[in-house]
Amino acid sequence: QVQLVESGGGSVQAGGSLRLSCAASGYTWSSYCMGWFRQAPGKEREGVATIDSDGRTSYADSVKGRFTISRNSAKNTLYLRMSSLKPEDTAMYYCAADTACEPLWVGFFGYWGQGTQVTVSS
């Protein structure tokens, strides 16, 4: 079965950087889409970034130019590099996967990790 485990979250000052990692198992990278989603207290879960089997990426407008999604197929690991962090980036960040890609659409992804907390202070 598909298993996703996030790591790398933490607390940083505004303007700082973090790199999130998602260790994946139980699937083939070539046939899966991977993505990062986040949910802040009192808000709906939203798409942050996705990457498909062709390497095409999609980003929420709010993170374009600041976040970069990538993956290392050999290590079965997905990454989210975050820079110029803002307090509004504070949320629980989740890794998700499925067999195809519907960019940034929370409802499409069937496999989810447990999340890693990112807190950005002003």
Instruction: Report the distance separating Cα 57 and Cα 91, nearest Å.
Output: 21
Residue 10 pairs in a beta bridge with 118
DSSP assigned state of 89: G
Distance CA 85, CA 98 (A): 28
pLDDT in tens, the chain (122 residues): 889 999 999 999 999 999 999 999 987 656 678 999 999 999 999 999 999 988 999 999 999 999 999 999 888 899 999 999 999 999 999 999 998 888 889 899 999 999 999 999 99
Cβ atoms of residues 55 and 4 within 8 Å: no
